[in-house]
């Protein structure tokens, strides 16, 4: 009897030591892929499930070339200098953000076009959108077409826009089929929750977990700034659906359920069962209001995110409370 040999699909995940990259490796393993994770560091909170994990500095062309030494079905390029408002919007890290991420993307695009790559995915951001359309808390949804004329509010956004075009050019000229997702505020367990690179949901969960009952938490700005937040599992659903679709246009991967930062804080406080007041203080905020417009993704993929924000916040708050508790216990026992 002849036996059909089915070879395993292969994937490279650049940025596999980071928040979304680590979750993506786990998902690809569940799907049966052979996965090589690449990052300058291992995942912080849980061991990787990748078959191989390569520690590399993707700013260095020869290290990126070495990652493409075999045929690969799917490449996911997530590595970037990344952080929350305290990192992206102060202006203090602009050169590092632009130069490191641009070097990484140039190297990945060049090595992918020399190697044998089935398809490449690039994680862009909601920060590419024109800030002039996001100054109003009534009209702020980001349709994909409104990224031009370009006027992002941060150098992080300008670099993302440049790299979108870079990967589109590689797709056009060098025959590496590329898909691009513009991610909007992804959150969930196993993301940065302290020390400067955390984003709003994680920072608020940490502040609430640390606060004593009857106390207060601080939020940056007047609390009326608006965002939408997408739980990491649905973000992966969007990334993988877009990767395996025919859609060559950048698509939003985000929630279209907008909340103010105050409302977000109130939701987390209610999960904690503590009585806390919210104090607004000055701090970096980014644009006034922004939420994903999901008409195009629904049209192109027949899918849009639907999970309630509350469900993702419950899982994230539970995980961050545990992190806060263990960090207090280890400080006390030191
Ligand atoms: P993250 O910071 O957790 O992960 C990025 C990873 O890139 C890190 O592990 C980091 O070590 C790695 N990296 C950076 N420079 C490197 C280098 N020179 N060599 C090797 N590795 C390097 O960020 P994340 O939240 O997982 O985001 C993943 C991607 O999605 C990023 O490109 C980010 O810009 C994009 N994105 C994320 C969000 C979000 O809300 N999390 C929103 C929009 C876009």
Given a cut of 60, whether residue 5 has pLDDT beyond it is no
Asked if the structure places residue 247 within a domain, the reply is: yes
- Say if 75 falls within a structural domain: yes
Tell me, yes or no, whether 161 lies in a domain: yes
Tokens 């997530």 sit on residue? 78
Distance, CA 273 to ligand 1 centroid (Å)? 33
For the stretch 152-165, pLDDT in tens is 999 999 999 999 99
- Ramachandran category for residue 133: left, alpha or beta (phi over 0 → left; psi -120 to 50 → alpha): alpha
Which atom in ligand 1 lies closest to the alpha carbon of residue 83? 2
Confidence band of 7 (pLDDT split at 50, 70, 90): confident
103 lines ligand 1 (CB under 6 A): no
Identify the pLDDT of residue 86: 87
pLDDT band, residue 138 (cuts 50/70/90): confident
Instruction: Quote the ligand 1 centre to 286 CA distance (angstroms).
Output: 19
pTM of the model: 0.96
Which pLDDT score, from 0 to 100, does residue 3 have?
A: 58
| Residue 196 pLDDT grade (very low, low, confident, very high; cuts 50, 70, 90) | confident
> In this model, does residue 139 exceed pLDDT 80?
no
Alpha carbons 288 and 153: distance in angstroms, whole number: 11
Q: List the CATH number of the domain containing 105.
A: 3.40.50.720
Point out the ligand 1 atom lying closest to the alpha carbon of residue 63: 19
pLDDT tens-digit map of 198-212: 999 999 999 999 999
Q: How far is the CA of 1 from the centre of ligand 1 (A)?
A: 48
Determine, yes or no, domain membership for 42. yes
Q: Which two tokens stand for residue 260?
A: 């103010």
Annotated catalytic residue 122: no
Query: Which range is least confidently modeled, 14-18, 136-140, 148-152, 191-195?
Result: 136-140
Please calculate the CA angle 167-75-142 and round it to the nearest 5 degrees. Answer: 50
Residue 318 has pLDDT above 80, yes or no: yes
Give the pLDDT confidence of 73-122 residue by residue, as tens digits. Answer: 999 999 999 988 889 989 999 999 999 999 999 999 999 999 899 999 99
Banded model confidence at residue 285, pLDDT cuts 50, 70, 90: confident
Task: Say if ligand 1 is within 6 A of residue 183 CB.
Answer: yes
CB 127 within 8 A of CB 156: yes
In a domain, 248, yes or no: yes
- Whether 268 is in a domain gets the answer no
d(CA 88, CA 199): 10
Q: Is the CB of 58 under 6 A from ligand 1?
A: yes
- The pLDDT value given to residue 133: 82
At 25-76, the pLDDT tens digits run: 999 999 999 999 999 999 999 999 999 999 999 999 999 999 999 999 999 9
* Mean residue pLDDT across the chain: 95
Mean pLDDT of the 221-230 span:
95
Residue pair 113/72 in contact (Cβ under 8 Å)? The answer is no
From the CA of 331, how far away is ligand 1's center (Å)? Answer: 29
* Residue appearing with tokens 């060559």: 248
More confident residue, 134 or 254: 254
Asked whether residue 116 is domain-assigned, the answer is: yes
Bond into 149 cis (ω within 30) = yes
Q: Can you give the residue range of the structural domain that contains 120? A: 10-184+232-253
Helix then strand count (H, E) for the chain reads 10, 15
Locate the DSSP E strands across the chain: 10-14, 34-39, 52-55, 72-77, 117-125, 141-142, 178-183, 186-187, 216-220, 226-227, 230-231, 251-253, 259-260, 277-281, 291-292
State whether the beta carbon of 64 lies less than 6 angstroms from ligand 1. no
Averaged pLDDT for residues 121-132: 95
Q: Indicate whether residue 255 lines ligand 1 (CB < 6 A).
A: no
Among 87, 122, 129, 156, the active-site one is 156
Question: In angstroms, what is the span from residue 101 Cα to ligand 1's centroid?
Answer: 9
Count how many domains the chain has: 1
Residue 321 lies in a domain: no
Token couple for 121: 């995915």
Question: What whole-number percentage of the chain has pLDDT above 70?
Answer: 98
Q: Which two tokens stand for residue 208?
A: 């609430």
Pocket flag, ligand 1, residue 186 (CB < 6 Å): yes
Q: What is the mean pLDDT of residues 292-313?
A: 98
């Amino acid at each position: 009897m002849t036996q059909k040999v089915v070879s395993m699909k292969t994937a490279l995940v650049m940025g596999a030591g980071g928040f979304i990259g680590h979750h993506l490796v786990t998902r690809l393993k569940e799907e049966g892929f052979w996965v090589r994770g690449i990052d300058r560091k291992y995942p912080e909170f849980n061991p990787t499930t990748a078959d191989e994990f390569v520690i590399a500095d993707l700013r260095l062309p020869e290290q990126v070339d070495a990652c493409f030494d075999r045929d690969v079905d799917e490449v996911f390029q997530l590595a970037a200098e990344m952080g929350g408002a305290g990192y992206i919007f102060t202006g203090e890290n602009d050169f590092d953000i632009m130069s490191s991420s641009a070097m990484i993307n140039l190297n990945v695009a060049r090595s992918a076009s020399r190697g044998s790559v089935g398809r490449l995915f690039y994680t862009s951001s909601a920060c590419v959108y024109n800030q002039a359309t996001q100054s109003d808390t009534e009209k702020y949804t980001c349709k994909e077409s409104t990224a031009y004329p370009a006027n992002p509010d941060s150098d992080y956004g300008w670099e993302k826009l440049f790299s979108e075009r870079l990967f589109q050019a590689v797709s056009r000229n060098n025959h590496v089929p590329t898909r691009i997702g513009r991610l909007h505020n992804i959150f969930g367990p196993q993301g940065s929750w302290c020390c400067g690179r955390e984003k709003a949901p994680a920072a608020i969960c940490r502040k609430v977990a640390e606060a004593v009952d009857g106390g207060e938490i601080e939020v940056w700005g007047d609390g009326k700034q608006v965002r939408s937040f997408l739980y990491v599992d649905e973000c992966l659903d969007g990334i993988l659906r877009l990767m395996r679709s025919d859609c060559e246009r950048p698509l939003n991967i985000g929630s279209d359920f907008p909340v103010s930062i105050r409302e977000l804080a109130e939701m987390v406080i209610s999960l904690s069962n503590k009585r806390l007041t919210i104090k607004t203080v000055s701090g970096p905020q980014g644009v006034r209001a922004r939420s994903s417009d999901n008409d195009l993704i629904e049209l192109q993929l027949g899918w849009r995110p639907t999970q309630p924000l509350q469900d993702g916040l419950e899982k994230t708050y539970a995980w961050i409370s545990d992190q806060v508790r263990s960090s207090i216990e280890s400080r006390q026992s030191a």
